[in-house]
Structure 1
Amino acid sequence: MKERAMTKEGTNVEVEVISTETIKPSSPTPSHLKAYKISFLDQLIVPGHYIPFFTYYTPPIRDATKAPNSISGQKILKDTLSETLTRFYPLAGRVQNQNEYVINCNDKGIVFSTARVNNCAMTDFLSSSQPKVEFLHQFLPTLPPVTKLGADNDGKDDDDHDGPAQLAIQLNIFSCGGVALCVCFRHDIIDATTISAFLNCWSSIILSKDNTKHKGAVFTPDYSAPSLFPQRGKESLPAYLTLGAGRKPEPEVQIVTKRIVFKATAVEGLRAIAASEHVPKPSRFEATACFIWKHCMAASGAIRGSQLPSLMCFPADIRRRMVPPLPRYSVGNILSMLLTDKYCTDGPAELDGLVSLLRKALERFKDKFVPGLQGPELYEAVSQSTQELHGSVSTRNANPYVFNSWCDMGLNEVDLGWGKPAWVSFIGGPSRFKNVTFLFDGAKEGDIDAWVTLDQREMEVLEENLEFLAFASLNPPIMINT
C-alpha cells in the first residue's frame, strides 16, 4: 500500500506499508485472568474512540544490527513487544460485547505494521518553514478499526467476531533511518498514563537485554482499578452513554487541528502575567491553557458576533490523589473530568481571572472530591461532571473547551534502543470535534506544543490575533539534532 504527499518544498513523500502482522503475548494469559471487567471510570468514556500520537527517533549511529530497518532490529522490537503484552495482557484481548464491559483476555494480540517513507529524510519532513503536520495522517496504522478515529460505536462489533484490536503500532522508517512511531490506543480501555506505562515497560525490557545501556527496572502494571471502582449496571449509566449519544460531529462546520508552539520564554512570560493574589505562582499548564482559552473565546465571539458563556474542562489523574496513592502504573482510565465555573462576562477575558477560575476548580477537586474517592460518592461526582460537559455540547448553551495535558507524561523517555525520542507529537489536519487542545512537551526543553482543534473560521481569526501571536508561534520548524 502506498500513499503520496508533497512537502512544503515539493518533495514527493511516499509511504509504503511493507508488512502488517499480529503480535501476541509471549506467554498465554492464565485462565483465572481471562475475563477482565473494566472499572466504572472506563465505562464513562464514550466507546470506540482511538487516540493516535507519534514519537520520533533520529537515525541510530551505533550498532547497525539494532537499527529499526534491519532484520535483527525488527526481531528485537517484536520479541520485546510480545513480552510487554504478557504484562499488559488486557491490551492483547478483545471487547466482544461492549454492553457487558468485559475484556476477553484471549491473547489475540495487537496490530504491528512497518512502513517505508521513501524519498524523504525525517529532518527534511519536519524542519521546513511550515512543516506539513497534516500529512501525519498517512503514517497511521491502516486497519479500519484503528483509522476510524473518534467513530461512534453502537455497541456492535465489526466484521471480526473477536472485535477490533485495542492497540495498533506503525513503525514508519524514513530514508535516512529516522523513525516516526505511531501508536493508536483504544481510549475507553486505557488512558494516556497507561499507554505511557506500556511504552516505558517495553523500553525497559529492550534496554535490559542490551549490555551497553542503562538497565532500568522492568515493572509489573497494577490492575486494582476494577476492584476499587467496580463497574455499574447499564441502567445506572449517564444518558449520553446509554442512549448512544456521545459527542456528535459538528454539522456543516469544517474543523481543523493546528500545531501552535509556546517557547519556554513565552511560557514564563505568560506565568508572570497570569499571577494574582489568589494564584501567585501559576503552573505552566494553567498559564498556557488559560491563554489559549482566552483567545479561543475571543475568536468564537468574533465569528458569532457575541460570546457564549464558556467553561474549561480537563481530565485530572486521580492515581496520586488517592489515599494511599495508587501505583503510577495502574491500568485504566483513572481520571475525572474537572470543570471550571462558567465565564459569562462580556468583553475580553483577563488571563489572571481565567487562571483563578481554573485554580478554584482544582481546589474544589482537592477539598471536596478527593476525600470521597474511597466512598460511593465517587461515581456520582465523576458522572455528574462528565454529564455536565456532554450537556453543554448537546444543548449548545455554553462553549466548553477541553484541555488534555500530556506534558511530563514520560513519553519523551521511551528509549527503544535508539535513544530517547527527539520529539513527541499529536496529529494535525481535519478533525471531527472542535474546541479540544492537547498539550505536549516541545522539541526543545521548556517549550510546549499545543495541538488546537477549532472551527476553521475561528482558527483563522486566532492565527491573525496579534496579542496571541506575541506569545504563540504558528507551526514553526521542528529542529532535531541528528
Structure 2
Amino acid sequence: MGRKQIPPQYPLQILSKKLINPAIPTPHNLRNLKISALDQLYPTLYLPFIFFYPNFSEKEFQLAGKKLEKSLSKILTLFYPLAGSYIDDNLSIDCNDNGVEFIETLVNGKLSPLLGRDVDCRQLSHLIPHQFESLTSPLLAIQCNIFECGGLAIGLCISHKIVDGFSFTKFIDAWATSCRLGLHKVDYPSFDLPTLLPTRETVPEIKPVQRFNPGLKTASRTFVFDGSAISNLRKIAIEGGKESHKPSRVQLVTAIIWKALMRVCQTKHGQLRPSIICHTMNMRGRTALPISDDCCGNLFRPVIVKFTLENKSNKVEFHHLVSLLGNAIRSTVTDCAKPQNGDDFSSMVSDAWKEAGEELNKDTDKVDAYGFTSLCRMPIYPDFGWGMPARVTHVQSVVELIMLFDTRDGDGVEAWISLDENDMNVFQQDPDIIAFTSQVDH
C-alpha cells in the first residue's frame, strides 16, 4: 500500500496558553483524595488522544474556543481531581484547583491529509500538549489546534495515574455534553474507589507488560473492520469451531489480528512460535463489591491468553484463537466476582498484573507477546455542538500495542496498531488483513 508524503509536522503558532480552573472552588472536605490500591500499580504516564473536526473554519473557532473554555471550567467542578496535583509521597491528589492546561494554536496547513488511516502517529505528536509527565505537570492538558485552511483538532493528554480508558471517555463525553447541552445534562462521576480499595503499604513489583526498544523503528496504522467484516468473521468462527457463546466484536477482531501477527513472526523466524497476548478488561459491573458503574480511577485488569504448539502443527486456526480468547475472558470474569472485600480484590488484580508481566517478559527469544486494549462501547466520539469527530486517534507510539475502539457508526471496530516497521510491512500484506479491513481515507 502506498504511503502519502505528508510533512512530519505542520508549522504552528501558539495563540494562548493558560490554566482553566473549576468554575466553583472545590469544597475543603474534598481537597485531599487518596488514590486507590489499583492506581498504585500503574506508572506515571499520559493517555494522549486527538479528535479531528474537519468542517470547521478559523472564524468559528473564536466563538467555539470560548465555549470550550467555559464548559471545561464547569465540568471541572464535577471532575475536580483533574484540576489538582498528584502528591507521590502521600499517594494522593491535592484537589487544589490549580487548573488544567489549555493551549490554543494556529496550524499552517490542511487538516484533511491527516485524516488518512495510514498517517503515522509521529506526524501528529505536535498536535497534543506534551507526552511526558512529571510530578509538577498538570493531570490534564488540552491543545485546541485550528487549521488555517479549515478544521479543528483537539489534542488531549490525561494522567493514567488516576484515569483509565473508561474514566477518560467518561470525562471527554461529559465535557462535550456540557458544552453542547449544559452541565445539567451530565451524569455525575464518582471518586469513591479509594474508600473501597485503599492504598497499601507494599505493592508487588510488576514487570512492564510492554517491551520497550528505543532504537526500534516503528510504524503505526489504523485498520478498520466494518460491520460486514465483523459479521463474516463471526460466521467463520461459529462454523469452524465449537464455541457455544456468540463471540463479541472485540473477541473476533483480536483473534484475526493475533493470527496475522503470528504469521508475521512465522515469516520472520521460519516457523510458527508460541504466542501470548495481554488484553485489558474493564471490571465495572463484574465484581461483588459495591462499586459504582460511574466510578473514575483505574479499574481494569489483564486477561492473559496463550497459544502453544501442543499439536505440533505449523498452522494456526482462527476459530481456535476465538475459543482461547472466549475461555480466558469467561475465566477472568469469574475471578473478578470472587473477592468479597477490597483487600482480596486488590490482591487479585495485583497478582494478575504480576503474572502478566512475568509471562510477557520470559523467553522473549522464543515466545512472541502483544498487548491489546479496548475502548469499544465507550463514548469515544465527543460532540461539542458541531458533530462527531471524523477521526479519533491515539498518539503514543508503543511497539506491539493494539488499541481497539468503535467505528463512528458503532457497528465496526477500528484497530490502532504499532509494530516494528519491517513487521508492519508484512502485516499489511497478510491475506486476512487485506480481506477483512480497509485503510481507505475518511
1:56 to 41, 52, 59: 52
Distance 1:453 1:131, change over 3 A: closer
Counterpart in 2 of 1:400?
369
Distance 1:23 1:272, change over 3 A: same
1:321 to 286, 291, 296: 286
**Are 1:93 and 2:84 an aligned pair?**
yes
Query: Per-residue displacement from partner, 1:148-206 (whole Å, max 9, x unpaired)?
Result: 27xxxxxxx55xxxx21111111111234421111111112111111111122212322
How far apart are the structure 1 equivalents of 2:245 and 2:356? 29
- One-letter amino acid of the structure 1 residue matched with residue 112 of structure 2: T
**Are 1:147 and 2:131 an aligned pair?**
yes
Query: Per-residue displacement from partner, 1:43-72 (whole Å, max 9, x unpaired)?
Result: 111x221111122224359xx98x3x21x3
How far apart are the structure 1 equivalents of 2:54 and 2:200? 46
Counterpart in 1 of 2:224?
261
Counterpart in 1 of 2:196?
228
- One-letter amino acid of the structure 2 residue matched with residue 37 of structure 1: K
**Are 1:338 and 2:307 an aligned pair?**
no
- One-letter amino acid of the structure 1 residue matched with residue 267 of structure 2: A
Counterpart in 2 of 1:152?
none
Q: 1:380: how far off? A: 2.3
Q: 1:344: how far off? A: 3.6
How far apart are the structure 1 equivalents of 2:82 and 2:113? 35
**Are 1:184 and 2:144 an aligned pair?**
no
How far apart are the structure 2 equivalents of 1:11 and 1:293? 30
The 3-state SS of whatever aligns with 2:5 is coil
Q: Unaligned 5+ residue runs, structure 1?
A: 1-5, 150-156, 210-214
Distance 1:246 1:105, change over 3 A: farther
The 3-state SS of whatever aligns with 1:282 is coil
1:341/1:361 contact within 8 Å kept: no
Distance 1:394 1:408, change over 3 A: same
**Are 1:117 and 2:111 an aligned pair?**
no
Q: Unaligned 5+ residue runs, structure 2?
A: none
2:50/2:127 contact within 8 Å kept: no
How far apart are the structure 2 equivalents of 1:375 and 1:10? 51
Distance 1:194 1:434, change over 3 A: same
1:310/1:344 contact within 8 Å kept: no
Distance 1:206 1:423, change over 3 A: same
Counterpart in 2 of 1:372?
339
Query: Per-residue displacement from partner, 1:205-228 (whole Å, max 9, x unpaired)?
Result: 22335xxxxx97223211111011
How far apart are the structure 2 equivalents of 1:369 and 1:132? 37
Q: Relative to structure 2, which stretch is displaced further, 396-405 or 10-19?
A: 10-19
What are the residue-to-residue correspondences of 1:275-424 with 2, within 5 Å? Answer: 275=238, 276-323=241-288, 326-345=291-310, 346=312, 347-372=314-339, 374=341, 376-397=343-364, 398-412=367-381, 414-424=382-392
2:84/2:98 contact within 8 Å kept: yes
Distance 1:189 1:11, change over 3 A: closer
1:237 to 203, 211, 214: 203
Counterpart in 2 of 1:74?
65
- One-letter amino acid of the structure 1 residue matched with residue 24 of structure 2: S
The 3-state SS of whatever aligns with 1:340 is strand
1:116/1:174 contact within 8 Å kept: yes
Percent identity over the alignment is: 29
How far apart are the structure 2 equivalents of 1:206 and 1:251? 40
Distance 1:50 1:132, change over 3 A: closer
Distance 1:465 1:7, change over 3 A: closer
**Are 1:203 and 2:170 an aligned pair?**
no
How far apart are the structure 1 equivalents of 2:76 and 2:263? 46
Counterpart in 1 of 2:126?
138
Distance 1:295 1:78, change over 3 A: same
Distance 1:388 1:77, change over 3 A: same
1:8/1:130 contact within 8 Å kept: no
1:392/1:399 contact within 8 Å kept: no
- One-letter amino acid of the structure 2 residue matched with residue 263 of structure 1: D
Counterpart in 2 of 1:439?
404
1:41/1:334 contact within 8 Å kept: yes
RMSD: 2.8
- One-letter amino acid of the structure 1 residue matched with residue 39 of structure 2: D
1:425/1:440 contact within 8 Å kept: no
- One-letter amino acid of the structure 1 residue matched with residue 67 of structure 2: I
- One-letter amino acid of the structure 2 residue matched with residue 49 of structure 1: L
Distance 1:28 1:337, change over 3 A: same
- TM-score in terms of structure 2 length: 0.89
- One-letter amino acid of the structure 2 residue matched with residue 48 of structure 1: T
Say how many residue pairs are matched.
Answer: 434
How far apart are the structure 1 equivalents of 2:162 and 2:236? 39
